[in-house]
Every structure is written in C-alpha cells, then in structure tokens.
Structure 1
Amino acid sequence: MPPKRPNGDGEKDSGEPTGREKKKQKTVVARTINVQQSPAQAGPSTANLSASGMKGLPGAIDVEKFADARAYEINAMQSAMANAKAAVTHRVWQTLPRHLRRRAASHDVRRVPVRLREKAQLEMEGVKKKAAGRNKLPKRGKSKRIPKAEQYHQRQSADKVWLETHIWHAKRMKMDHIWGYKLAVQPTEKSFRPSHRASVHGAILHDVSYFSTVQLHATESLLKKVLARCCDPSGHVEASRYTGGGRACETYIYGMSTYPFGLISPVTIIWRPSEASESSTLPEKKSRKEDGAAHETTVPLTSPKRTVWLRAHPSAYDDVCRSLKQSITAVLDAARMVEGKLEQITEDDYSIEFSDLRDRFNAFEIMGPKSSQVIRGALSLGKSEKGRPEVKKVWNALMNLQTPGSVPRAMIIGLKVYDPRLNFPPKNAQPRVNESLLPSTSPAFNIPPGATLSRSELWDTVEKDFTPKFKKKELDERKSKQLIPGTSLRALDQDDRVPLMLIQRTIAPSIPSSATSLRTGPDTPLHGWTLLAPKGWGMPFLSSLIHTGTRVGGLRERRTQHFESGMPAFPEDYPTTAPYQAHMATRAKQEQERWERTPPAKRCNFEKLGTKHPWNPDWEELLGIRGGTEPGGDGQDPGSGDLIPTQPHPEEISMDVNIDSNKEHGKVHTGKLAPWLLRGARTLDMLHAAASAKDDSTSAVVLLEKVNALRGSKHLEPCTVSAEDLFKSALVLVRVSICGRGSPDDLAIIYELDEVESDKWRAALARKAKGKGSPEIGNEEAGNEVQLSKLIPKPKAVVGYVTSGNFSLQLGCGHAIGAVPARILVGLMRRDQRAERKTYCNLVKVRDRNGVVCMAASLEVICA
C-alpha cells in the first residue's frame, strides 16, 4: 500500500510543492502589504534623530496633504485586509478541534469559545448583510397569499374551536374533538395519582374556557320571573344573597315551566352588583290574575336594569338558550297582559336583551389547598385596587389561607391586576406563620361577601376591549434593557390592567348526609377557585399560574375530582339528559366496535353472564315504561339473545311535555312519561317524606304534593300528571359505597336484595367487622361473604346501573355513582325505617357487566 504523503526522501519531484505548501503560500501572499518603491533622493532620511532633534518637528500637520502623501500605503493596507479575508478557506468554528465543534456554531456565537466570539460575530454579520442585500422581485399574488401557519389553523379548526391555550395543551395532552371544541382529555405522561395528590395536597389547573356564557339584561323583576320559569325551584335564584352579586348561585336549568321534567344541565348564575343609586325603586304594584290564580308581581316603575350571567356546559348550550328564550317570551307576554297598564311604564321596561358571550372569556379552575397561594404569587394587585380596602384585605388574606374552603361558598371577588408577564417568573406566596401563636392555625377568613367586593370591570367586556396592548416580544425587549436583564418590570401607565373575577368553588353536597344513610368514610370535598379573565389573556395567565409547579389536568382529571368528592359529573352521570344520551351513544359505539374486533375466545360473552345491555343502559326498560320487567317486579324476564339494545331516537328520549301558550302558561300536560331525574337541594327531604308513607301509592301522592308545592312557590301551575306515573318514571342519583372488598366499574349492574338475602349479608358483614367470620371459602357457616357473592342474581332483580365506578384513592375502597328508580329507593328506606337499622342501610349488591362476583353495597342519596 503506497504511503499517504511523500516522506521527503526524493520519492517525488523535489521542485513541485505539496497542497499544504500551496495553501500556506496563498495565505502569505494574501496577507502581504505592498510597499511603494520610491527614488533614493525622495526616500526618508536614515539619520538618527536625537531627542533634541524631535523638538524641530511641527506641532500640527495638514491632514489632507498627509493623507494624499500616504494614499498608496492606506490603499495597500485596505486591499491586504480584503484579500486576507477572502483568501481564508475556513471560518472560526472550523479551527476548533473536532470534539469542540458544534453544528449550531455556524450561526450562534454562543456555541464558540469566548476568545473567538468577536471574530465569529464579524464573520456572521458579513454573511447576514450579504443575504439581506439581495433584492428579489415579489412574486405574483404574494400579498394575497395566506401564511402557511394561518392556513394550518383554518384547516384544523374548520369544524371545531381551538382554545387560546390549544397549542400548549396539544404538545402535552391527548386531544379530542368533543362538544364542538378541541379539548385536552388527559396528559400524555402517567399522572393519574399525582393529579389526585395535587387536588388534595397541592394545586391543579384545568382550562374551562369552553364553558358557555349567556347574558341577560333587563329589569330585576323580569329577570327573576324568567329564571323562576326555567330554574330549579329549590335553588332560590331570586334570594338576595345571590341577586346582590356577592355570591354565585349553582342550580339546575329545566325546560320552560317543565319542572321536575325536562332537566337540561347544571348552571351557574352570577348577578352583576347594582350601584348604590340603583337600590331605591318605587313601590311595586300587585295584581291578581284571573281564574283565582296565585298573586304575581308586576314590573316596578322606573326599575333599574340589571345584568345576569348564566354559565353552562357547552353540550347543553342550545337547550339552555331555547329554554331561556321560551321563558322570556312567556314572561313578556304575561307582563303586557297586566290589567290597568300605567302610562309611566314604557315599552323599554318590557324588553330583555339576550347576548352570547361564548368567546369573551378565559376561565381556569384551580383546585387544591394551595390554589390561593398560586393565585396570590402569580398575580399582582393593581394600584387602583389598593384604594378599595375590602379588596386589599381579601388579597392579603389569600396568602395565609390553609384551604379555599375557609372562604364562604361561591363567594365572588372582583379585582384588577397588572399584566402577569411583567413579573414573570412568579413565585408562590408563602403563608406567614406567627410563631408566638403556635400550634394554633392561621386566622379564619372573616370577610363576608358583598356587592362592593364583587364589583369588576369584567362585566363591561362587551363594550370595552381588554385584549393585551403589548406582545411578549416587546416586554422581553424591555426586560433586556434592565440594569439586571430579565428582572421584573415596573408597571407603567401604558401597561395593561386586567379585570378579573374570582369565584370560590367547592365540589361537595350542598347539605350534610342524612343520618339514616351509611357513609363508609368522611366527606371529601374539594375546594378551589374559578378565575375569569378577558379574551386574549389565556396564555399569559396559564404560563404564570403553572410556572411554580401547578399541575395541569384534562377532562379526565376534572371528572375524577367529582368522583372522589362523591358528586356526579356532567354529562357522564346525568341520565335522561340529551348530552348524556349523546355521550353514551358515542361510547357504546366505540366499545362495541372494540368488542367485535376481539376474537370470540378472548372477549367476554355477555349473553352467558346475563348482561342484557352491556353498552348502554336502557332506563325505560328498567323503570318498566317500555317493555321488559319492572324493577323488583314478579313478571318473567323477556330476555332474548340480543346483546345490543336499540338506541332510542332523540324524539323518544326527550320528555313528551306540551305547553299550551294560548291558554295557560306553565300548565304541564303529559302523555307517556319518559324517565326523568329528580335533582335539587330538596331531593332528600322529598324522599324521606315519601318513605314515611305506608305504601307506594301513598308515597306517590306525597311526592306529587311536594313537587306541586315547589312549582307553586314559583307561580307555576300544578302538574296534571298522575301520581303513579310520576313516581314510576323517576330516577334518583345515589352513591354506591362498597361494604367489603372490590370496586365496581362503569356500567355495573345494581341488584335488589330480598329480606332473607339482605339479613344474610348483614350478618356476614357484621361477623367480618368483629373478626369472627373468616372470608375464606372453607367457612361452611351460612351467610359467608364469599358464598353470598357467588349467588347468581335473577334478571328481574336489576334496579339500577352505575354511571361512574372505580377504586377511590381518597376513601381507599370501592366507590361508585349510579342511578336507581325512586320507587325502589323509597322502598329500601321504608324497610330500614321500620326495622330501625342504623348500619348497612339501603343494602343492595353490585355486579360488573363482565363479572360473576357480586359485592354488597349501600346506597346514599346525592343531594344538590
């Protein structure tokens, strides 16, 4: 093999230079500065100048003549510099050893060692200037061309809406197209348990900007009448604690004058605080309606206009708007028919403005005991708000809150903060502990809600523009010019002041649990805040709120929060509603397709397990309204080999309720009753009253009387439906608390126990609790828990279904939320009352749809 280069021993011609020598010669020539050859007489003197000879030099020279005389030398030096730069065949970063070279060093001086950065910067500037100096003719139609980024956004959001934080979530979450939005379902990382720990011990955030908001603007009396016709009568939406604007009212909305039928969805009602000058109104005039109806109050003279917001789930937005518009029409028609119209009342007093505010807000739910410190540390109170002593007092109190549960429920705080980007990155506020008062806890939150505290400029979002004035790039440039670059900026007069609204949020029953019902563990409410901000501020607030370690959750985490608190989540746990039916239809289709793709030997045989409806519960058949066997009845099961029940059409699902607007507003005429869900704060009282009756027929009459009493409190006509049909078609949401081992899954089946089997289960559970009974199969004593769990229930014993079931991380045992007929639950309560039972009340057994083992469980009514 020949050598790579000659060794200089005469193997090559001695007169030919090598490539390396040629490169060196080229570099030397490029760096040589030419010198002008002058005649000898014109050359400089070679005499040595002594120190005394320097004194004879002139004190000044003529610059023009001197430069002209040295023009050749100056030009030669400039030419040599240009030639030397052009002759270089490598750049600074190429002179580094190979292990120090970086790909980014060709355009980023920070990737070059400090000693060479100045030279690298000069090389890069020359390349950039050369590239910027190119003059290209603009292409035809370029000004009309849509940028690629905008084209991508339009293509992706053609049939859906993106939230302002969509890009951030899409990089970290699994996204899904649901309810007309592209929403985050769950994080891509494993975070189920950490998210639960954050909601219990830390803080977790969820972007709920997809929630719909509707605004009504009219006189207060008209607004109260509209809400009374479509909201839950037991919610007290017209109470002064809510109409004053200091608290948000959480209630339910129904179809116009259809309570208790036609449940649409939960809704949050927020009243705008009225000014002090608006508190004085003229006395109202009352009139008695014809036909001996209840009293109705007319519109007060010169009544001030009020504004109210209704926030509801996006899946129910169309139904909410339809119910509100129908109620508005009915109220205005009734107001114009008031006998003896007064001349002082103008047509403007009978008008109601309806506005859609779906794209006007950003909303964040921050749950957990440290949510107050997160908000306090990420935001800075505006200087103008410091003139409001009540706001400043609340702002200071947020720092020392151990939990937002110390704040009055649904309390509203209106404030104005600086642009959160000015003091980014933030730090969580640290509670101040007075060591002299230890071990006592921090002082209680003793600031009551009120209209003065809840006043906010966010109400003017329709008339005013609160979008950011400056881009993040401009604020970063200001930070770079700071004495210490990157430090927080001082807010200037031209900087944004963002109006906000903080609403205390609690996930828990509105009333304590009944003493007659079993609770396997303590109440586990979750507390936090709902933060409302104007549009355009989604990412600035999200970046500041999560920078300090606050976890971010999706729809799964939000549903888990309701499940751990023992409260139903909408729409997954609200059967008989249209969003629930749409959700279950989609889920049933996906699960059925997955089941059909599975080989028969690897999938569950629901027919042999006796699971008649494995994908979607048939509530009408459960209640005995359409075919099948009534729950707990004695009829024969008409079960067939069909595994997939026919999905009812929306026309069949909706309540068959007709309202004759020409005759009597609010009078309900019902034909065939579809299943309906009994909800509200009075649910437990109504069921206890029904259980106190001697039999089902009397219980049905009692329930009808309770319903008509609530309707009468809102000036609605009594229901004309029969008591038996009303009682037969009612469903009740319950907590399913497992008494032993095991945890039920979604769509598990709830079975009724007869007296004999119920006593056996109670005896087995009592022996196990005392340690006398062995849970092993070897125990041959009657009533063994394992033997009882293997008893195959009869198909006619089905009395309900589980809508959400899993192992509860908070309770440490199996837990579920389901629905059962009111008739069955009242019968269980009546049986326990007569037996004076205090433990294991409302006992049933639960079986997974794909399992054979039954679990004993106790039912508890979920109120509100």
Structure 2
Amino acid sequence: MPKAPSAQAGPSKNNGGRPLKPIHKTVELLKKNEGAKRKGKGKEREILGDGVIGLIDEVKRLPGLIQVEKFAEARALEIYAFQSAIKIAAAQGSTRAFQSLPRHLRRRAASHNPRRVPKRLRSKAAAEIDSGDTIAKKHRKIARLRAKGTLRDHLSRTEQFALRQKNKTWLPTHLWHAKRYHMTNIWGYRLPITPTLKSFRPAYRAGRRKVIGFDTSYYGIIELEGQREEIISLLGRISAGKFAGIKYEDGSRVAKIMLYHFDAFPIHLIGEAEVIWQPILEGPNVRRVWLRLHPSIFNEVWDSMKIATSQLRHIGSSKIKELQIRDLRAGINSIDLIGPKAGKVLRRIMRLCRDEKSIKSQFFESLRYMDDPSHLTEGMMIGLKMHDPRLNFPPARLISRDIEDSDEGILRNNAIQPSSDLAQSSLWNSDIREDLSKAAYTKYQLDARRHRLGAPGTKLRLRSDDDRLPIMLYQRSITSSTSPSEGFYGFTILLPSGTWTQYLLSSMVYSGVLFGGIRERAIQHREAGIPSFPEHYGQTCKAGIEWEIRKGDKEKETHDRKPPGKRVEYGLIGTKDPWIANWDKVINGKSTEESIMNGSTKNKPWLLSSPFTAHLKSSLDPSALLKMLNAFRAQRSMSPISSERSQQMFETALVHVEVNVLGRGSPGDMAILSKIPLGERKLWIEAYEKAEKATAGEVSDLHKLGERLPDESEIIGYTSTGNFSLSRGQGYALATITLQGWVDLLKSAEEDNQIGWKGRTIVRVKNRDGALSRLAELKLIL
C-alpha cells in the first residue's frame, strides 16, 4: 500500500484506507506530451496530457497544508522545466531559428541558408528549410567555381568587384554597409541611405548622448599649390566668406565658404566648401590649400577653377601664373564622428606614436577626459600619427561612467588652443599617402602574430616595420546661431585611402559607435537648425536642383503606383505643385509653363547667405541690398552690379528660415508657407491663445481659420524638410522663402502692438497632403 505524502509537505487527513493515486512528475508528463506531439496530436493536447478533469481529481488528493517555500525549493527544477515547456510550446511553429537572433545579427540569406546562422542553430535551421529550396545549393556551387577559378575567366575577387564599379564607385566600407543599409547610386557613388533597422530615434540619441559616425569618404578634395597671392586671388573671385588671414593661414583652423562661378557672386551658386591651409614650413614661399567638397559639386568646381585661372591669365594677372590644381579624391578618405563621446572613442581606438610632439601628446591624453567636443575651438585642426588600429583591437567599449561629465575634462580641453605646431601632419605629403595606400601586414599575418602570443585577447607588440598612419583631425560644429543649444559637435578624421577606413570603422563599431547614412546626416542638420547640402539648396544651385528633381520623381513614382482610392488627390486639397517648388509662380506670379509660353524672361532665384542675412531689417529695399552686395564685390576686385538690376535682384532673392509650429501639427516636406494678412493676424493670435481652453469635441477658432486655403499671392515659400523635432518636442522644419516675403513679415511684426507678439514673424503652414493650415513662427538662419 503506498505511503502518505512526506512530512515535509505537512500533515494529511485520513483517506479512509483508499489507495492514493501517485502524482506524476512534471518531467514525465512533458516527455509524455512530446511523444504525443511526435504522433501528430500537436498543440491541441494539454501540456499535462491527462486532461483538466484528471488534474482536478489529483489536486483533491493533495495534502491540506504545505510549506510553500520548502515545496517550491524541492520542485524548482520541475517548475523551471514547466516554464520552459510553455515557452517552447508558444514559440513552436511560429518562430524560425534565425528569428531568435538579435535584429542586428540577422541576415536575409539565413532564411534559406543554414550556414548564415550560428552553429548552435544550424541543425534546427536546416530542418526548417523546404526541401525544394535550391538557393543555398546554387550559392555553394558558385562558391566552388570561384574557389577553383572557373568563374568569370579566372578573375580574382578584387577584379570582380572592380567590374561592378564601372558606373559608380564603392566606399572603402561598402561591404560592411551593404549588409546593413539601404544602398543607392548617387553622385557617382554607391552610398548608404539609411540602416535597415529602425534608426530615427536611435540615431538622435547617439548624437546627443554618445556618438554617431558617418563614412564621408565620398567627399572630394582639390589641392591648390602656388604663391599665397595666387591662391587668394583665385578663391577671392569665386567665393563668399572668410578663408584667409592669420586665423586660417597658419593651418590651425578650418574655414567654411560658399563657392560661385567666376565673378558671378551672388548668383550662380555652386555650393559649400571647407578650406584647409597647410601649416607654414621653412623654405620657399609656396603654400598648399585643400578644398573639401561634396561630390555633387566636385566637377562643377573643378571646371569653374579652370575657367577662373584662364580668365585671370587672360586679363593679365601676374598672380596666377604658376598655380597648380590637383584632384585628390583617390588619395584621402574621411570619417565623421558626431557626439559628446567622440573624443573618448578616438582615445580608445587609436594608439599615438611616441615620437609625436609634446603638445600633441597632451591633446591626445586630454581626449580621455573630453565630455563634449564643443569645448574645443570651432574648426580646430590637429595632426596626429597613430599606429595601425588593428594592433589595438579590440578597443575598450564605452561604459556608463564614461557618460558622466567632468570639470577636469573641460579645464584640460580649454587649455589647448589652436596652433600651427598642433596642426602639422605628414598627410600633406603625397609620397607618404601613396606608400600607405596598402597596409604592410594583412589580417592573416596579424592573426598569425596573435596566435603565437598564446593567451587570447593579448594586444600585439609594436614593431619597427608596423604601419604608422598620419591623420588630420578637426573639430566639427553643426550648429546655428539662432539655436546653439540644439547643435551637434564632433570630429572629422582625414586619413590615407585604402583599407584604413574599414579598419577604423571596425574598431569604432566595436567600441559602441552607431553608424548612419545620408538620411541620418540630413536629419541631424535639421535638428541643429542648419541647412545641409545639397538637400536644402533646391532651385538655388545645380546640385540642389538635381537633388530636388530626383526626390520629386521618386515621390511621384511612389504616389502613382497607388490606386486612386489609396493615394492623396492633391488637386482636391489645393496643392498644385506637390513634387517640386514652383518658384516662378511665387516670384513672378506665373508658372514656368506660362512664362515660357508668354516669352517672358525667367528670373532665376538666388540665395542670400550668411553673413549678409545678419543685416536684414524691415527697412531693407532694393537699393540697400544692392549697396551691400556691391560693397562685398569691391573687396574681392569684382565689378559692381548695375543699379538697373536692383529691383530684379531684390524680387528673386531667397533666404533660409526655421519653422516652429505653434501648437499642434508637424510640417512635412514641401509644406506651403503663406503670410497672414495684417487684418487676420490679430484673429490668428487670439484663436491661438484661446485654443488651450477649448473643450473636447469643440471646433476651435484656430481650426476654423486654418480651413481657408491660402491665396496664391500669399505664398512666400516652401519647406525643404520637416518632421517632429525630438530636440524641441514640437513640429519643426527648415524652409526657403523669398526675401521680399521676409521683409513684409518684419513690417507686419513691428506694426503689431499685442503683448508678447510684437516683433514675432508668424505665418500659415499647410502640408501638401493636408487641408488645414497651422500657425507657425519663422526665424532667419544667420
């Protein structure tokens, strides 16, 4: 006769002499359930196997009193097995092996190729693949042919990759990006647009709290070599902005300018450029200058410089005889690191050579305590020489205490000021760049050296024949004078071409750096309140027009693929130009087609950029604008603009502005900005102030005012990009409006005497796919 339950489970009642039914162990029940599953009875059978009624009968025979803690401890293994069985049963049939990996480790090929998952999951992945799936077999066949050399006429892997770059160029990190990013062909390169994983908020957090990186090796460099007077004479006739003087010519800082065609300022804009002077060396009075350019304008700048030198020689300028212009696109790569921890990441991934000057060693050590690159001078240049980053792999990762700010770090960084000695770098030497285009040791050779060390994770010892890599590091500020608190700060790294960019990227990713694409870079500029090139320069330069057309065609194609019931009918909501901004209608009151049919001269819009925007007032008129422009042209030895063109220049000028939505709503791309008539301004302000008091379900006065479609004569501009701003917690956009419209807004704002609203430039903003206008405030980007 079976014995009563153990005394550990507490006293039990007399069962009247009936035999007790034993309670089966959970493990045995699970085994029984697994057997039922193999027979095909599947999920519809209960986990315990005997049914709910049998379970209730067994519960009735349990002891009346138990000690919970001891009972749980005695059956902890069974409870764990029971919980695991529930999880397995829930996931069985609905989750595949490769889906159990973290998202950043998943690969598309893993759905049909079990070799693309870790070893521990390969047997399960192989069992899940359909027997008719031959994709993996085909890939293995191609791999065998490639190994035998019978594929593509015995071409090596490098030669095969070269064949795939006939009409575009790959970045040095292309293979890494192609597995993780959406790629596109643009500006002659194959570039990453955005990560395949969600990145809007992660990219913002990385730039604000830690660090985000961008491979900017697609930027090109033009080298100018000659006498100082030759360089200044050339750049002075094709640029706007400060680039010469003691502040920049010693090479300690990077200058930012706008480039134009020869003697064409302020029209015929080409784009942005960064000017880097080589530090002064002892010897002949020969200077070198690098112009760092976006790839969309590289060829245009190259042609413009050739024309400019030819024109200067034609007019008999003796300052331009021996100037040499070189293309360095194939010789220098670059990476941007943006975020407060950019300095600490550099300190982890780099190992400075011992023969560097003391001031450079001092700066390098200060990176350990750097809590924000904003503490450094803007554009500050540092030249360093570092060892092969693979010798220091793996680097230390950023940890939580690295995120804390340090007063010591601020003091150390403020003590280091820009200087010519700090900016010296052998990267200016073309022979050194060419020698370092190929690494001295391959990965296989370095792995063999590690293997001989014995203990895993041991850092390699430095040798005299190891590569020593010259780099140039300068502080980058993405900030606007109107909203400096929203800016981003970091570093730009210039280094020799070759595989060094990939080696640095591997170390950066290992240390915790998140990398972004073109979209994340543009969004970062928008959050900082500063236009990015060429996305925000539509209709003002050739590169901006090409970008706008490309974007508009893609959006129109996406729109046209949708059936009529699933797409926005722009004509019904008053949007006549949803894809590309129609500046002809805004400036001339006529569309482009009407201007061509009437044979009228097309007045092309031009951009009034900084520093001229800082002098705009409500009293500005065509003659005052022309006087300001001619004063600058006179400084650069350019002939003045005739007074007959003053009115035309005033009417066709455009300026960049920030759009801050007041209240609800978020502006998108191509939103319409229209001025508010003076009579309606008071109504909009009163409706906005009363909007917070409106009850639920009640249509506010602000909503009623926004229902009126803007008149075409009231439109003053369009947004180039907009969304909800994570920095500001409200709708925000960057836009372009007419100079005439901005002056009118200033006049209306000064005439307003309402408390708290005098001097505030407010407009209506209407999304292209919306029927309601919102109230917004504009701020000029200086």
**How far off is 1:443 after superposition?**
4.8
Task: Report the Cα distance in structure 2 between the residues aligned to 1:855 and 1:166, rounded to whole angstroms.
Answer: 43
Say if 2:673 is the partner of 1:692. Answer: no
Cross-structure match for 2:448: 477
Matching residue of 2:302: 321
Partner AA of 1:525 in structure 2:
G
Other-structure match for 1:264: 270
Given that residues 217 and 353 in structure 1 are in contact (C-alpha distance below 8 angstroms), is that contact kept between their aligned partners in structure 2? yes
Secondary structure of 1:568 counterpart: coil
CA distance change for structure 1 residues 337 and 185 in 2, over 3 Å: closer, same or farther? closer
CA contact (8 A) 1:255 1:264 kept: yes
Equivalent-residue separation in structure 1 for 2:208 and 2:766 (angstroms): 30
Partner residue, 1:722: 645
1:761 Cα deviation after fit? 1.4
Structure 1 residue 191: Cα displacement: 1.9
1:459 to 405, 425, 428: 428
**Aligned counterpart in structure 1 of residue 527 of structure 2, from 561, 564, 569:** 564
Aligned to 2:583: 619
Aligned twin of 1:496: 467
Unaligned ranges ≥5, structure 2? 1-113, 123-146
Aligned pairs for 1:695-774 (under 5 A) are 699-720=621-642, 722-768=645-691, 773-774=693-694
Q: Amino acid of the residue matched to residue 659 of structure 2?
A: V
Q: CA deviation at 1:793?
A: 2.0
Matched, 1:228 2:240: no
> Where do residues 575-724 of structure 1 align in structure 2 (5 Å cutoff)?
575=538, 576-624=540-588, 627-628=590-591, 673-685=603-615, 687-688=616-617, 691-693=618-620, 699-720=621-642, 722-724=645-647
> What TM-score does the superposition give when structure 2 sets the normalisation length?
0.76
Matched, 1:183 2:191: yes
SS in 2 for 1:320: helix
Aligned counterpart for 2:762 among listed residues 811, 826, 843: 843
Alpha-carbon distance in 1 for matches of 2:210, 2:381: 22
Give distance in 1, aligned partners of 2:560 and 2:452: 64
Asked if the contact 2:675–2:745 (Cα under 8 Å) also holds between the matched residues in 1, the reply is no
- Deviations along 1:358-380, one digit per CA (max 9) or x if unpaired, are 11112000000011100011001
Query: Given the alignment of the two structures, is residue 367 of structure 1 paired with residue 338 of structure 2, yes or no?
Result: yes
- Structure with greater helix share of residues: 2
1:157 is displaced (CA, Å) by 1.0
In structure 1, how many angstroms separate the alpha carbons of the residues matched to 2:577 and 2:150? 59
Aligned to 1:809: 726
1:218 aligns with 2:145: no
Alignment of 1:66-105 (within 5 A): none
* Residue equivalent to 1:345: none
- Matched position secondary structure for 1:422: helix
Task: Give the corresponding residue for 2:491.
Answer: 529
2:242 and 2:256 in contact (8 A); partners too: no
- The offset of 1:774, in angstroms, is 2.0
Question: Which has the larger Rg?
Answer: 1
Report the equivalent of 2:392.
423
Deviations 1:197-251 (A, max 9, x none): 000001011100000110000001110111101110xx21122211110000011
Alpha-carbon displacement from aligned partner over 1:688-736 (angstroms, at most 9, x marks no partner): 2xx225xxxxx11100100011111112111125210110111111111
CA distance in 2, matches of 1:647, 1:228: 39
Structure number with higher relative contact order (C-alpha < 8 Å, ≥ 6 residues apart): 1
Matching residue of 1:252: 258
> Residues 621, 177 of structure 1: CA spacing in aligned structure 2 closer, same or farther, 3 A cutoff?
same
- Asked whether the equivalents of residues 373 and 430 of structure 1 are also in contact (C-alpha less than 8 Å), the reply is no
Cα distance in 2, alignment partners of residues 400 and 440 from structure 1: 4
Q: CA deviation at 1:395?
A: 0.8
Residues 1:389 and 2:358 are matched in the alignment: yes
Runs of 4+ aligned structure 1 residues displaced above 6 Å come to 141-144, 429-433, 437-441, 645-649
Aligned mates of 1:163, 1:353 — CA distance in 2 = 28
Q: Confirm whether residue 165 of structure 1 aligns to residue 173 of structure 2.
A: yes
Structure 1, unaligned runs of 5 or more: 1-102, 112-137, 279-302, 339-348, 514-518, 629-644, 650-655, 657-670, 694-698
Does the CA-based 8 Å contact 2:366-2:409 persist in structure 1?
Answer: no
The amino acid across from 2:485 in the alignment is D
Sort the Cα spacing of 1:438 and 1:617 in 2 relative to 1 into closer, same or farther, 3 A.
closer
Between the aligned partners of 2:657 and 2:751, the Cα distance in structure 1 is: 21
- How far is the alpha carbon of 1:606 from its aligned partner? 1.4
Match of 2:291 in 1: 310
Change (3 A) 1:812 1:482: same
Residue 336 of structure 1 deviates from its aligned partner by: 4.4
Structure 1 partner of 2:102: none
Matched with 2:416 is 447
Deviation (angstroms), 1:794: 1.9
Verify the 8 A CA contact 2:625 2:650 in the aligned structure 1.
yes
| Equivalence for 1:10 | none
Other-structure match for 1:203: 211
2:202 counterpart (194, 198, 201): 194
> Deviation digits for residues 821-844 of structure 1, max 9, x if unmatched?
101101111232344676471110
Letter in 1 for 2:624: V
Question: Per the alignment, do residues 737 and 142 of structure 1 end up closer, same or farther by CA in structure 2, a change over 3 Å counting?
Answer: closer
Measured against aligned partners, the alpha-carbon deviations of 1:264-310 in whole angstroms (never above 9, x if no partner) come to 111001000011x35xxxxxxxxxxxxxxxxxxxxxxxx61100000
AA in 2 matched with 1:733: H
| 1:545 matched residue in structure 2 | 508
For residues 462 and 827 of structure 1, do their structure 2 counterparts lie closer, same or farther at Cα, with a shift above 3 Å needed?
farther
1:128-147 alignment, distance < 5 Å: 145-147=153-155
In structure 2, C-alpha distance between the alignment counterparts of 1:746 and 1:706, rounded to whole Å: 33
Matched length? 628
Cα distance between partner residues in 2 of 1:355 and 1:789: 56
Give the Å deviation of 1:790.
1.9
Asked if 1 retains the 8 angstrom alpha-carbon contact of 2:475 and 2:492, the reply is yes
CA distance in 2, matches of 1:144, 1:402: 52
CA distance in 2, matches of 1:648, 1:324: 33
> How has the CA–CA distance of structure 1 residues 600 and 408 changed in structure 2, closer, same or farther, with 3 Å as cutoff?
same
- Three-state SS of the structure 1 residue aligned to 2:214 is strand
SS of the aligned residue for 1:309 comes to strand
Which residue is 1:40 aligned to? none
* Equivalent residue number for residue 821 of structure 1: 738
Name the CA distance, whole Å, in 2 between partners of 1:566 and 1:251.
Answer: 18
1:483 CA displacement: 4.2
Q: Relative to structure 2, which stretch is displaced further, 326-335 or 570-579?
A: 326-335
**Hey, what's the Cα distance between the residues in 1 that align with 2:604 and 2:346?**
46
In structure 1, C-alpha distance between the alignment counterparts of 2:580 and 2:410, rounded to whole Å: 50
**1:159: Cα distance to partner?**
0.6
Give distance in 2, aligned partners of 1:801 and 1:336: 44
- Contact kept, 8 Å, 1:832 with 1:842, in 2: the verdict is yes
Change (3 A) 1:646 1:505: farther
